[in-house]
Structure 1
Amino acid sequence: MLEQRLLEKAIGEAGRLIAVEPFGEGSIARFGIEGGEHAGDWFVDSSRQHVAHETGFVIRSREGVTVARIWKHPLDPRLPALRTALDPQRLARISAAAGSDGPIDARVLAYRPGRRAVVRLTQHDVHLFIKVVRPGEAEDLAAIHGACRAAGVPAPEVVHWTPAGVVVVRDATGAPGPVAASRMPVGELLDAVDDLREHLLMVRTRRIARASVGSRVDWHLDRLAADLPGRADDVRALLPALVPHLRRVGPPRVVHGDLHIGQLFFADGAVSSVIDVDTAGLGDPADDAAAFVGHAMASAARNEVAGRTADAALLQGIADEAADRWLREPHAAALTALHLVGHGIRAVDRSPEATDLLLDRARRVAGVRALR
């Protein structure tokens, strides 16, 4: 692939492709190098989007246009605070600002290059979470946490933030969603999620939720077709089945933006915490339904392929009942199918069998008859 050739041109090693996400006019691809002087995670950005300061290699056309930029984690040019979030001395200062001291363990839990990262700090068996965002976005992120809490949405409390792009929040309370799902009746769990979604509608904000998965339908299908050349016709057959149903129905409402069981914590039959409200804002309620169902279906598929049949059955049961509740319109079903395509893309390198299964499920949700 082009990104791999560009990386090899820059550092002399091609690396192993880990993941790729759409970004700007192109994408950001992540590669891993196991050993030697270049060991670590490397990123190739073909988005052609401006950055304030370059932090790695830059490849330009003869006309001087930036074709790609390449950097090594954590030197993300759009997230300059990421280095701070992983620097022991600076972490000690952040911890002190939150009222604590002592040895700190820092672990990156999530990272979307160019967009955001989450770093967990553990000190005296207490967790704090650093949200790393682009400079200038931290105040807005702190504000949406506050707006959610004011509306009864149990987002974590913000204890510190800086304009450089750092927001520090407290730990969630309650049983993690996957644990609670094994203990609660499915109907009770989904009732709790419905109650959370109702409270989200009452959040007072003008911020825009994360872009709908439907806004990048061509990119997703083209990428999966390239990753599964033997099933490219199956992938492309999704396009006419999805496109007529991807436009939002009704006015924008406040949504989570990335709702799934892993974002939720439960206590006493209710959602006690909801994390990653970074993506929340005005959007399409069907996106939350589709994200939840798609994630449950994808998790079931991955567990099925791995031979964890009990976990697969539990997650598929949640997905089926949630689909019965929330996927009654073609619009929500189309978005769910596209979420499954996205999960399939992310699974290509780790489990081609899971990707194959996810494509089949996407086609079934979209109502496309199998071609093979």
Structure 2
Amino acid sequence: MRPSKMREFSSSPHLCVIDPSDDRKVHFDDRALPAARHLVGPDAIDVLRPPVEATGGAIDSVRPVHVQYRPGSDVVVRYSALVSWGGAEPRRETLAAASTVHGPMPGALTMTASTPAGPLDVSVWRWPFDPVLVGLARVVTPVEIAQVLRSSHGPLDPRELRLDVVTYRPTERAVVRVDRRERGDRGDRGDRGDRNDRNDRNDRNDRNDRNDRNDRNDRNDRNDRGDRTVAFVKAVPPSDVDGVVERHASLLQAGVPVPRIEHADARSGLLVLEPVIGPTFRELVKSNTGSWPDAAEFDRIADAFAGAELDAAPLASRLADGVLHARMLATVMPTAATQLTRLAERFERADCADSTARHVTTIHGDLHDGQVIVRDGRIVGVLDIDDAGPGRPIDDRANLLARLLYRVHTSATPDARLVEHVDMMTVSSAGRFDAPDLAVRTAAALVGLATGPFRLQSPDWTTTIRRLLDVAEELCTGGSMRGLSPQPHRDLTNTCAR
């Protein structure tokens, strides 16, 4: 990345200065990644200041908003920063820094610090110049995205396009929604459209993740403006494009209602997906509206997935993932290490006794309430199937139940309808899957979700994690999967002790 690219795009002025004292105190103890402890907390501004100053800016404050951490391998942190370019008023910027056991990342600025223990290398970049998502910078302005969409949508007037960053996970993926305003509804934007949208509204990235937003949460606002979604553009590592295209084609042929890929570019890592219209299950739950899909509807989708043949590597089980997530949390939250070690050991024992290997079929791999589009209680769209592959169908169901339980146990006032729906889904799922096995896998998935408050650096993230770990342990000792019901389900037993 050329140093000048740190400031090719400017974002909208931030409304207030972020107090550095708000940084969460995280203490990484990872000998393989000695630089990791400098990337979260008060030291982060010292890591980011040199590259910003080298490209003509002055960093006022910085706050970590998303952490991707794999112990012994890599850590990537996304920051919300206030930066003043050329003495102008500070503006909100999205910065990222990474440390890996493989050394500096090509395409990013490398900062090397001399320490008594040896040099520490940290790779730094600025949105949208992700060193892995090389096509991302092409889809953050209306002019450029109109060129990307030209082959699939024909000529588009950039002044009629409105962009919204749905999600950005550094080095992994980004999704941009493209809306088109009706002709004659440009307001007084005129030629300012390009400049305003060049700001790409990436300050919403943090809010999107923190509020469990997805690519359709603000549909009502867009409808009021007369906007119509014309496409979603996804940026992935270029090496992933062929696999994503193959998955979509195979799943569509098997009857899974996934979005059609309208254009794919393996050189840039960009994919253009048709929009699937309708609310997600998550939106319906949050608004307590509409008809919700029942277990039988998810069974139908699972059967459709099972009919697809994918040439992909087998997916790790939820139990194996639960072990890794428990160990990761123990690294960043040593006060809970004893409980997390206990959970990891229980998941390992259950994994060793796994009797579901013969039931491996194609599954989604990360199925949850935000991944399905619902119309009149029927699932009409399935999203984000990039990781679909051979796995155990029980893991998809466990992940779905864990997501619903997460919402129940992290809501200030859990909705009675949601609690009842979790109960119904649990009872109905017991007719398809072994109930004790489903309970422990749900616990493992819940431990994975417990990493979320840490990754997003949420306020009181340690308190939230402890609450979720307690729920996971209750499931592992024959506790209830029925929302907030104090009575254990009659079919659940102490599976983790076997």
TM bracket, shorter-chain basis:
0.7 to 0.9
Distance 1:338 1:41 in 2: 32
Match of 2:378 in 1: 270
Question: How many percent identity over aligned positions?
Answer: 22
Secondary structure, in 3 states, of the residue corresponding to 1:45? strand
Match of 1:131 in 2: 234
Distance 1:206 1:60 in 2: 44
Question: Which of 31, 53, 58 lines up with 2:106 in the alignment?
Answer: 53
Q: Are 2:181 and 1:73 aligned?
A: no
Counting matched residue pairs gives 363
Distance 2:382 2:256 in 1: 8
Counterparts of 1:344-355 in structure 2 under 5 Å? 344-348=450-454, 349-352=457-460, 353-355=463-465
Question: Which of 338, 347, 350 lines up with 2:444 in the alignment?
Answer: 338
CA separation of 1:321/1:43 partners in 2, compared to 1, >3 Å: closer, same or farther? farther
Question: Which of 245, 268, 290 lines up with 2:398 in the alignment?
Answer: 290
Counterparts of 1:112-131 in structure 2 under 5 Å? 112-124=169-181, 125-127=227-229, 128-131=231-234
Match of 1:111 in 2: 168
Report the TM-score when normalising by structure 2.
0.65
Quote how far apart the aligned CAs of 1:260 are.
0.7
Deviates more, 1:142-151 or 1:82-91: 82-91
Q: Are 2:277 and 1:173 aligned?
A: yes
Q: Is the 8 A contact 2:74 2:99 kept in 1?
A: yes
Q: Which segments of 5 or more consecutive residues in structure 2 lack a partner in the other structure?
A: 1-26, 28-36, 50-58, 86-90, 182-226, 480-498
Q: Are 2:339 and 1:238 aligned?
A: no
Q: Which segments of 5 or more consecutive residues in structure 1 lack a partner in the other structure?
A: none
Quote how far apart the aligned CAs of 1:118 are.
1.2
Distance 1:34 1:198 in 2: 49
Quote how far apart the aligned CAs of 1:213 are.
4.7
Report the TM-score when normalising by structure 1.
0.85
Q: Which residue type is aligned with residue 191 of structure 1?
A: A
CA separation of 1:34/1:52 partners in 2, compared to 1, >3 Å: closer, same or farther? closer
Match of 1:31 in 2: 79
CA separation of 1:216/1:258 partners in 2, compared to 1, >3 Å: closer, same or farther? closer
Counterparts of 1:90-101 in structure 2 under 5 Å? 90-100=144-154, 101=156
Deviates more, 1:239-248 or 1:10-19: 10-19
Quote how far apart the aligned CAs of 1:99 are.
1.5
CA separation of 1:46/1:95 partners in 2, compared to 1, >3 Å: closer, same or farther? same
Distance 2:474 2:75 in 1: 28
Q: Are 2:263 and 1:150 aligned?
A: no
CA separation of 1:116/1:50 partners in 2, compared to 1, >3 Å: closer, same or farther? farther
Q: Are 2:48 and 1:11 aligned?
A: yes
Match of 2:472 in 1: 362
Q: Is the 8 A contact 1:294 1:319 kept in 2?
A: no
Q: Which residue type is aligned with residue 194 of structure 1?
A: D
Quote how far apart the aligned CAs of 1:68 are.
3.5
Quote how far apart the aligned CAs of 1:368 are.
8.2
Q: Which residue type is aligned with residue 171 of structure 2?
A: G
CA separation of 1:52/1:29 partners in 2, compared to 1, >3 Å: closer, same or farther? closer
Quote how far apart the aligned CAs of 1:323 are.
3.2
- Higher radius of gyration, 1 or 2: 2
Q: Are 2:263 and 1:160 aligned?
A: yes
Quote how far apart the aligned CAs of 1:273 are.
0.7
Q: Is the 8 A contact 1:180 1:265 kept in 2?
A: no
Distance 1:335 1:51 in 2: 37
Match of 1:189 in 2: 294
Match of 1:250 in 2: 357
